[in-house]
Structure 1
Amino acid sequence: MELRRLKYFLAVAEELHFGRAAVRLKIAQPPLSRQISALEAEIGAQLFDRSRSQIRLTQAGTVLESHARFLIDRLDAVYRETRLVGEGGAGRLRVAFVGSASHGVLPTLIKSYRSHFPNVELALSAMNNAELHRALIQREIDVAVARPELRDEELRRELLAREKLVLAIPDNSELAGLSEIRFAELSNQTFVLYPRRPRPSYADVVLDICRKEGFEPAALELAQDYQTAISLVSVGVGISVVPESVSRTTRPGVFFREYIGHNPGTALTIHARRDNQAAQVMNFLDVTRKFVRLK
């Protein structure tokens, strides 16, 4: 059964007049009459009682009208939903990010995206850079927020933010009371670095700062992720070097301090596969570009 014939049938059923239905459908009356006759032949039942003065639905026509209207309404809904998903206004977007990103501009970016595309289901998860790269390549996620970036020609990238580094210090450390801290004078400290593996990683960025300041840390404590590292700092295991945005969130047992010395800073970068042209991904990248321009 052709969908077009069902739509023609409903127009005639609503108008109860072939001429008016033809005008509404923007076709000539004879072809409309032929289509209705063909539909009756296909079904094997008369759908309209025809007379010179009036046409009426038969009992069979009344049954078909009820079911046809339901089918057309459902199909229209399917078309609308499919179109919305295809345009990126619905569907699902999987976003993963490094743990420290949750303290900076990322939450605001996520809110901005949600405000533009409230019907898209967002699946959010935290991963380190190595996990982000693997998950993107294996298509387990759609968007990765890395620090500072993932180096792979298969990935497109958008810079989200740059920021300087600061020290995370236990609140009972003698360093917490100093008016200024020189990085070169931290050689006797235990450095809490992350991640433990794989390497090279952000931990090596901090070790490079130490070398540029002329020393190797007295001791290292390697944590697997940022959250564990900050927890170790809070209980006095050692100090850490973290993005400045982390200092905007109060953490019991931890003071954040700027330092004097080499500060290469760090960045947050949005990544997606180049061959992933899904509208949800393209829209997220577009929101990111607009967000960066406005902030």
Structure 2
Amino acid sequence: MEMHQVRYFLAVAEELNFTRASERCNVTQPSLSRAIKLLEEELGGLLFRRERDSTHLTDLGALVRPHLQSVYDHSKLAKHLSQEFVTKWPLKLGIMSTISPDEIVDLVANIRTRHPEVELRLCDANAKDLRARLLAGDLEVAIYALPGEAPDERIHSIPLFREQMVLAVHRDHRLAKTGAFPVQEMNGESYIHRMNCEFAGYADEILAQKGVTCKPVYWSERDDWTLAMIAAGLGFGFMPANSVKHPCVVGLPVVEPEFWRQVSLVSVRGRRYSPGVGSLVREAMRKTWFGKQPKLVKDSEGELAPAGIGEAAA
């Protein structure tokens, strides 16, 4: 059964006239009649009763009409959806949940303005979950940082920005006006643990080497809750500098040693990408992240970083 046969049958069933149906379908009447005859042979009986002045559906024609109508409607819907899909470029992008939303909203707005064909599908999670989902193919690209992790040959990274980690304390904290928070001063302080912090494990080892012990008194998945607890004087938080946005909280750079995170746009080497990835790369490199534009750097293979994704997306 061919789709054009179904279309011709439905036209005749509605018009009840072979001439008008052929005109409606933009086909000659003999071609339409042959198509109907082949359909009748396939279905095993006459579909129309043709009389001198009129045409009527047979019982078989009336029986199959709603089913063929459904086939035709679903075929049109499938075609419409496929056309819509190819004109839109769905792009699954994972965002580390500890990145300031303002920066991501700015990136999304730029993509929407300059690349309306890209349909961003965003999700947020901690860095390790994003990496796992990226490698599994659930995400095309992700933006995250994993301090202290060994290089992974499967992954290609484009550096976007560096951000210093700070100790967020109540504005009346004893060190609030010193301008910095030495690691040694953290010893014995009440600590509000950010469960999605990408430094978990890595920073703990460094603190242990310094003989510093911090006791978690609260655990939080959300930075706004962490800030609210710090503002209430319940403890300190270890946070990215640009996340400390609360009138009662001060962010003090951690020193001796300092902690920085390198946030990158990450993809999987050798994977075939949708065209939307190239648009994302261009906008991510054009954008200013916390006042600075990303710099083109060479990766381990001597390629400029954006080329690693841009070429795969082409």
Which has the larger share of helix? 1
TM range, normalised to the smaller chain? 0.5 to 0.7
The amino acid that maps onto 1:271 is: V
Alpha-carbon distance between aligned partners in 2 of 1:19 and 1:155, rounded to the nearest angstrom:
63
Task: Tell me the equivalent position of 1:286.
Answer: 279
Change (3 A) 1:88 1:107: same
Correspondence for 1:133: 131
Q: Could you tell me which amino acid in structure 2 is paired with residue 105 of structure 1?
A: E
- CA gap of 1:4–1:21, structure 2 versus 1, over 3 A, is same
**CA RMSD for the aligned pairs?**
4.6
CA distance, structure 2, for counterparts of residue 158 and residue 14 of structure 1: 60
TM-score (structure 2 length as normaliser)? 0.62
Residue 78 of structure 1 corresponds to 78
Deviation at 1:6, TM superposition (A): 0.8
Paired amino acid for 1:189: E
1:264–1:176 distance in 2 versus 1, CA, 3 Å: closer
- Residue 213 of structure 1 corresponds to which residue in structure 2? none
Q: Which residue in 2 is equivalent to 1:243? A: 240
Question: 1:105 corresponds to which residue?
Answer: 103
Secondary structure of the residue aligned to 1:175 is: coil
Is 2:264 the counterpart of 1:269? yes
Are 2:12 and 2:21, in contact at CA under 8 Å, matched by a contact in 1? yes
CA drift of 1:267 comes to 4.3
Residues 154-208 of structure 1 show CA distances to partners (whole Å, capped at 9, x for unaligned) of 3344555555555523333222235xx257xx36421779556554xxx39xx6x
How many Å separate the matches in 1 of 2:220 and 2:258? Answer: 21
Q: Cα gap change, 1:46/1:260 in structure 2, threshold over 3 Å: closer, same or farther?
A: same
Q: What one-letter code is carried by the residue in structure 2 that aligns with 1:127?
A: N
Number of aligned residue pairs = 271
User: Letter of the aligned partner of 1:250 in structure 2?
Assistant: H
2:276 aligned partner, one-letter code: N
Aligned-partner Cα distance in 2 for 1:273–1:81? 29
TM superposition shift of 1:146: 0.7
Tell me the distance in 1 between the aligned counterparts of 2:100 and 2:278.
Answer: 18
CA spacing shift, 1:274–1:55, aligned 2, 3 Å: farther
- Indicate conservation of the 8 Å contact 1:157/1:270, yes or no: yes
| Cα shift at 1:125 | 3.8
Give the number of the structure with larger relative contact order, counting CA–CA contacts within 8 Å between residues 6 or more apart. 1
Query: Gapped runs of 5+ residues in structure 2?
Result: 289-314
Q: Could you tell me the percent identity over the aligned residues?
A: 23
Partner of 1:219: 212
Deviation by residue 1:37-72 (Cα, 9 ceiling, x = unmatched): 121222233222224444333343333333222221
Correspondence list, 1:25-64, <5 A = 25-64=25-64
Q: 8 Å contact 2:146–2:199 — kept in the other structure?
A: no
* 2:183/2:256 contact within 8 Å kept: no
2:186 aligns with one of 180, 190, 194 = 190
User: What residue number does 2:299 align with?
Assistant: none
Establish whether residue 145 from structure 1 lines up as the match of residue 143 from structure 2. Answer: yes
Worse overlay, 54-63 or 157-166? 157-166
SS of 2:267 mapped into structure 1: strand
Change beyond 3 A, Cα 1:277–1:222: farther
Counterpart amino acid of residue 246 in structure 1: S
TM-score (norm 1): 0.66
Residue type at the aligned position of 2:251: F
